[in-house]
Amino acid sequence: MYSSTLVKTALSSATATTRWIAPVLLATALGMAAAWAQTDSSFDRTCYGTGSPDQTIKACSSIIAGGLVQREDLAAAFRRRGNAYDDVGDYDSAIDDYRHAIAINPGNAGVFNDRGTSHRAMGQYELSILDYDQALVLSPENAMALSNRCFAKAVMDRLEEALIDCNESLRLRPGDSSTLASRGFALLKLGRWASAIADYDAQILANPGNPYALFGRGIGKRVTGDLSGGSADMAAAKTIDADIEVAMAKLGVRP
């Protein structure tokens, strides 16, 4: 971390000038180095730790602007700030930070996965798939990237490919609720109602508040004759998210 670099710099400078500098100035230099170290350490913990999005953006911005960290730490700062921008919905800034992180360290699969998710949030599904592809080149058994690519492919109606990704992700991470929801979504679009409902059942059991899963299961139930059960699921989904029907329509699914 750059706090140690600043300490060494200050100490080196102070030592080099002890032939003529007054003892009080030497003490001042050492005191400044200690203050810098303490401040930098707090920024380090906030950027690389678990601060709020706004705190993380501020701390990581300070580290990036300082330019005094090792390359891998600089890449991590860009990624962490990108994550924070994602959290506040500033996807353009997130994507730009991920671009910088990738330029510094192109071998990190997680950053490609993160950027793919930002593209997905912006509705840029083809770009998201390209990033998930690269993440999986670097880390072929990355269950999260497989799950994310499954959903993106399902939105793009590449449904059989989506199922392959979701099945492999679930092999690596059995019972993962988000992947079950993505596979349920792909099965719903394929018209495999019973299988879609089964995946949604499992997902809702693990995460009862997912409006997408509730609405999707509601559609499946209504199509297969359970009108009251389907209507109840869809109503519950709308209680959680009043715009869920519009959101699902944008993904290519309508009641």
Going along the chain, which residue ranges are E strands?
none
What pLDDT shows up at residue 14? 36
pLDDT value at residue 8: 36
**What pLDDT does residue 42 have?**
56
How much is the pLDDT for 167? 98
Which pLDDT belongs to residue 137? 98
8 Å CB contact between 188 and 219: yes
Which of 188, 248, 252, 250 shows the shortest CA–CA distance to 223? 188
Please state the pTM of the whole predicted model: 0.82
Q: What confidence score (pLDDT) does residue 44 get?
A: 76
Q: Which residues of the chain have pLDDT under 50?
A: 1-39
Given a contact cutoff of 8 angstroms between Cβ atoms, the answer to whether 30 and 15 are in contact is no
243: left (phi over 0), alpha (psi -120 to 50) or beta: alpha
Residue with tokens 């329509």: 249
pLDDT the model gives residue 177: 96
pLDDT of 11 reads: 30
Q: What residue spans of 49-142 are helical by DSSP H?
A: 53-66, 71-87, 91-104, 109-121, 125-138
Q: What is the pLDDT of residue 69?
A: 85
Cβ(163)–Cβ(151) below 8 Å = no
Q: Which of 237, 192, 232, 194 is nearest to 213 (CA)?
A: 237
> According to the model, what pLDDT value does residue 41 have?
55
Say what the pLDDT of residue 33 is. 39
In whole angstroms, how far apart are CA 110 and each of 92, 107, 137, 157? 18, 9, 12, 25
Rounded to 5, what percent of the chain is helix, strand, coil? 80, 0, 20
pLDDT, residue 45, reads: 82
